[in-house]
Copies of this chain bind each other. A is one copy, B any other.
Amino acid sequence: MTKATVPVSATAMRAACSQCNLHELCLPVGMNAAEIDRLDHLVGARRKVRKGQHLYRSGDPFEAIYAIRIGWFKTDVLLEDGREQVTGFQMTGEMLGLDGISTEAHSCNAVALEDSEVCVIPYGQLEELSREVQGLQHQFHKVMSREIVRDHGVMMLLGSMRAEERLAAFLLNLSQRFNARGFSPAEFHLRMTRDEIGSYLGLKLETVSRAFSRFQDEGLISVQQKHIQIIDLAGLRQLIQSPGR
Contact = CB atoms under 8 A, between A and B. Distances in A.
A153 B75 CA distance: 13
Contacts of A83: 160, 243
Main secondary structure of the interface of A (DSSP, over half): helix
Interface in A140-163: 141-142, 144-149, 151-156, 158-160
Assembly stoichiometry (copies): 2
Nearest to A147: B148
Contacts of A199: 159-160
A156 B77 contact: yes
A101 interface: yes
Contacts of A214: none
Nearest to A243: B81
Contact of A144 (B77, B79, B145, B152): B145
Interface in A43-65: none
Size class of the contact patch on chain A? 35 or more
Interface string A69-98: 000000101011101111100000000001
A156 B101 contact: no
A155 B156 contact: no
Contact of A160 (B85, B99, B243): B85
Interface in A182-228: 199-202
A24 interface: no
A102 interface: yes
